[in-house]
Structures are given as C-alpha cells and as structure tokens.
Amino acid sequence: MCGIAGWVNWDRDLTHEQGTLFAMGETLVCRGPDADATWLSEHCAFAHRRLIVVDPSGGAQPMTRTFGDRSYTVVYNGELYNTEDIRKELLARGYPFQSYSDTEVLLVSYVEWGPNCVDKLNGIFAFAIWDEARQNLFMARDRLGVKPLFYTRKGASLVFGSELKALLAHPEVEPVVETDGLAEVFAIGPARTPGHGLFKDVHELRAGWHLTATREKLDAKVYWQLESRPHEDDLEKTTETVRDLMVDTVTRQLVSDVPVCTFLSGGLDSSAVSAIAAEAFRKAGKPPLHTYSIEFEGMEEHFEANSFQTGLDSPWARKVSEFIGSVHHPVVFDVPEMVDHLLTPLSFRDAPGMADIDVSLYLFSREIKKGATVGLSGESADEVFGGYPWFHREESLKADTFPWSLKLQERVNIMSPELRQRIHPEEYVADRYHEALAEVPRLPGESAEEARIREISYLSITRFLPTLLERKDRMTMGASLEVRVPFCDHRLVDYVFNIPWRLKTAGNQTKGILRRAMRGYLPEDALARKKSPYPSNPDPRYLAATRARALELLDDPDSAIRTLVDPQAVKALAEASYGKLEHRPWFGQIMATAQLFHYLIEIDAWIRKFSIRLV
C-alpha cells in the first residue's frame, strides 16, 4: 500500500513546485515508509510514498510509460489480485513490460482501455493517471471503497490525496468546516455520507466511481454498483459457489513479496479467512501461517456478556489456531497504554473516529508490523452476509433511520441549542437516510420482508461498511501495515447480495450460508459460534479516564467544544455513568457512554489540531 497526492493546474507552471509536493507527500509517510518520490511536469505534479509489497525494484512510483508520442504517468495506492490475468491479455495485444509490478499493469491497462480499464480490475485501489498529450487527469477508486481518495477543484486547480491531511498541506486548501460538515460530525459521525470530505469544497471520490478532469470540467461517473437480480441457485449450489468464491478470493490475496499474516479473533469471519489461508500455505509448501488476536488485560474480570457481545474471543482464537495449525500471537493491552493514546488515531484519521476501537486497532497493527507487512482481515462479512443485530431485530427493521444509530435523540440532547438550531440534526439524518434508500436497487415481486432486508443490506454495505473500512485503512496504515479484506471482493459481494434471506440464514442461523460453505475448514462449534464484534475495552478505568477528560474540557476556557455542547447535559450523562448502565450503544454495536466521552474529546482536539474555522 502507499500514499498518493497530486496537483494539477492548467494555468500555471508547476515544474518549480517541488516544495508543495514534498509537503503533501510528507503527510503520508506512515502509508509509505519505504520510498518516496515526486514527479513534476508543466501542469501536473505527483507525490508518492511507497510501502513495498510486490516487485521492490520494478514498482517504483510515480511511474511513467511512453507509447509512441503519448506519455502517461501514474500514482497508485492499492493491490491488484488479478495482475497476471490482465498482463497476459495485454502481452497478447503487443504491450511490453519492464517489471512484474501491478502498477505497470494498471498503467498499461489505462493506455489500452481508457476509463473502461476499471472494469478489468480485481483489487483495492485508488489511483491517478496524467495523460500528457490530452492534458487530462483520470482518477478511480475501488468498488467497495477500501482505499481512500479525496480531491478539491478550484478554478484551474485540482488537488488530490489519499488522506485529508495531504490536501490541507496545500496552500490553496483551507481547514474550513461549514454547517453540513458539523452535521456529519455530530449527527452522522463517526460514519460519513459517501462523497463528503468534511472540509469546505473537499470531496471524497465515491466507491465504484471514476473521474476525468480537464481544463473545462470534472466528469465523475459510477462504474460499479450493487444490482438486484433473481437468485436461481438452490441451497447446495449456493453453498458451493460461496465456498469457491471464498477460496479463490483469499488465495489471490496472499500474493506478496513480504511476510503475510491474518487477523484471527476466533469469530466466524476471521476464522474462515485464516483457515483458507493456512490451507493455501500448506499446499504451497510454505511455513505455517502466523495469526494475531487482540486481548485486554482484565478482560475476563470486567467483561459482561450482552446482546451485542456474547462472549470472550481469546479462547476461540486459540482453538481455531490449533485446528488450522497456525502460529498464533495474542497481543495484550492494558488501559494505561490505551489512555496514553486516546488522541493518536486523530493523526491518521484526520477526523473524530471510533474511539477506543481505533486506539486498540492502531496499537494492534503496530505490534503485527514487527512480524509482517501484509495482513488479511474478516472485515465486511457482516454487511455482506447479514450478520449484524439490526438484520434480525424488529426495532431496527421497523426504524425509519439508519439501524446502527437508533439513539439520535441522546446525541441531540448533548448538543448546544445553538448547534441544534444550526445543523437541524434530526432533519439532516432523515435526509441522508432517505437519500440512501432512494438508491436501493429494487427487485420486482419481492416480499415486503425480503425488500426490507435488501434495504438493510444496501445501507450496511454503502453507509456503515465505509466507516469500518476507513478505520481499518487509517489505523493499519498508521502503523505501515497493509491489510486486505477478502469479503470485499466484488464478485463475492455481487453474488451474496442477491441470495434470498432464507438461504443466507440457512439452518436458521445468522450467516448460515457462510457457515455451511466453511464446513470442513473449521471446527463445528466454531462454525456455530454466535457473532461477537471487534472488542471494546470494558475496563471501568477507560470510562473513568474519558469521563474525566470530557468534564475537564467543559471548564477549559480554550476548549473548542464548549459552544458546541450543552455542559449541563454532558455533566448529567457523566453523573449517570457512575452507576450501571444498560449496554445500548449510540453507534454501531459497541460505542456506548465511554466512547461518547472519547468522541467529544476527539472533536475538541480535531478543531484545535487542524486550526479549523467553523463558518
């Protein structure tokens, strides 16, 4: 994986703008600690930070290739899993290659097929290609949005980057947040409306979209989206297809010139990925797969099962590891270390995020990086196969809002009257929700129940999953660890999206079709285990630390958040948190009271760190 940044200006000579490009690239060092380079032409300049995974000598960027009198230059962040398939096709068409890198295959694909090259790609990617002859810029992002890409256009100038901080390093981009940006943070966050970059005039290139920029205009188009189709396969054929797709997807994603490992919580999703990877290692005659799990000191002492977290992960991680024959590494953290890093994720996310879940993932990735450069994760299986509680709970299915954020009123209650009046949170969330529903591809003749499940599936894949992918990308790349997500393979997502609910829940089990597909790869009791999400820290010391710091902000005259919250409401929440609270998260499955205090702390630090102007 890498970090990319660039600047196009059709009215200005950029050949002497090395300093600006260097500054933009420097913000992305953690994404690419192994090499850096810039490339400047009259009207286009690129910066690249490289994390070397494939072809150390031949994959250097920015990469330029010339064919006749046409010259093309690319900066690319990602990984292609069908590189050799495309290379063979291009070789048959007479194209020569100077390396075995996927970067060159990507660039030559664009030379041959133009914008349609994205239809050929199986992978995770965000890239930009400058066509010197045409003087245009082409940018694209992978179908599920695993890799990030932000941009802003002002007059004859276009600036882009892997992360928001790269854009903010450019003198033309100011840290200004308008009303809708505040609404995103306070009412939608830590999720974000697709395409929204938080800062004024900054946009996110949406997942499954590409964009062509010329002097005259920006032309953004969708090239992939979920489609609804009748599912013709019976249970056995569906099971077989899911299994085949899983095996092919995981096996493709093991390609690397550096050490590869897997995340293994002991849950169904990471266990399935790890089991397939372990078998692929054995068949290839490689040493045993290394697997990693996260644990907290005192977890057994403080953990209380609830409807969201049903049990501890660690015994299951060990059990699965023994079954698949991996070398397992439990990584253990304690509260003091996590408290020391409360605000560390902000430097990687550039926005308030998922509180302690971000912190632990970053620290976890930092430990994994000591032994591996690439990891495979079980992220997105719950969105694709319908594993979340909101697929199964009547209150969620009937709610006229995002099912992972049913407690909007509790968020509104801690906003200052001025902020409520400014952002109109209930109206803003309702608008974003109904915009999302309007996108859902309908299937004629579907029952009301199936239609609602399709809606929840679409919302989960296009609105909830991006939050987790952003977290995964920023926290792992913050530690210079590349993480791949097999459940985001578009072929698998395409197929499973249209499997009827009665088959997805085969055997009356959550994700029943996936459990059937993984028979033989995992122990039967592990296959039957109920879902348990990525763990949050149940230690009361974490709640005490976030509560205390949030209360301190209310008394700090320099606090950036004082005018945005209702001090009395926050203090009342703090007082109530001294007692035993029912675990009903305000976001997702595990972001409850302690995480809400943490989120407020992050908002305050975000405004200060980036010198944000609220207008």
What averages of pLDDT result for each successive group of 10 residues across the chain (615 residues)? 94 96 97 95 97 85 94 97 97 94 97 98 98 97 98 97 98 97 97 96 98 97 98 98 98 94 96 98 97 82 52 84 97 92 96 96 97 96 96 94 95 97 98 98 95 98 97 97 98 98 96 97 92 72 95 94 95 88 78 95 97 96
Q: Which of 2, 44, 117, 261 is an active site residue?
A: 2
Task: Report pLDDT for 56.
Answer: 82
Alpha-carbon distance 188 to 201, whole Å? Answer: 19
Look up the CATH architecture of domain 235-528. 3-Layer(aba) Sandwich (3.40)
Q: Using N-to-C axis directions, what is the helix angle for 540-554 and 593-609, rounded to 10°?
A: 50
Closest of 76, 72, 22, 21 to residue 45, by C-alpha: 21
Q: Report the largest interatomic distance among the alpha carbons of the chain, rounded to a whole angstrom.
A: 73
Q: What is the reported pLDDT for 581?
A: 55
Please give the sequence-ordered ranges of beta strands (E in DSSP) within 176-222, or none if there are none.
176-177, 203-204, 209-213, 218-222
Domain edges within the chain: 2-222, 235-528, 540-614
* Token pair belonging to 575: 């007082």
Active site residue 2: yes
The dihedrals phi and psi of 566, each to the nearest 5 degrees, come to -95, 105
Per-residue pLDDT at 337: 93
Report pLDDT for 582: 57
Position 313 scores a pLDDT of 76
Give how far Cα 254 sits from Cα of 32, 87, 247, 261, 476, Å.
20, 18, 11, 9, 17
| 2-222 homologous superfamily | Aminohydrolase, N-terminal nucleophile (Ntn) domain (3.60.20.10)
The secondary structure of residue 570, as a DSSP letter, is H
Domains 2-222 and 235-528 share a fold: no
Single pTM value for the model:
0.95
pLDDT score of 305: 53
Picking from 125, 76, 81, 136, the residue whose alpha carbon sits closest to that of residue 223 is 125
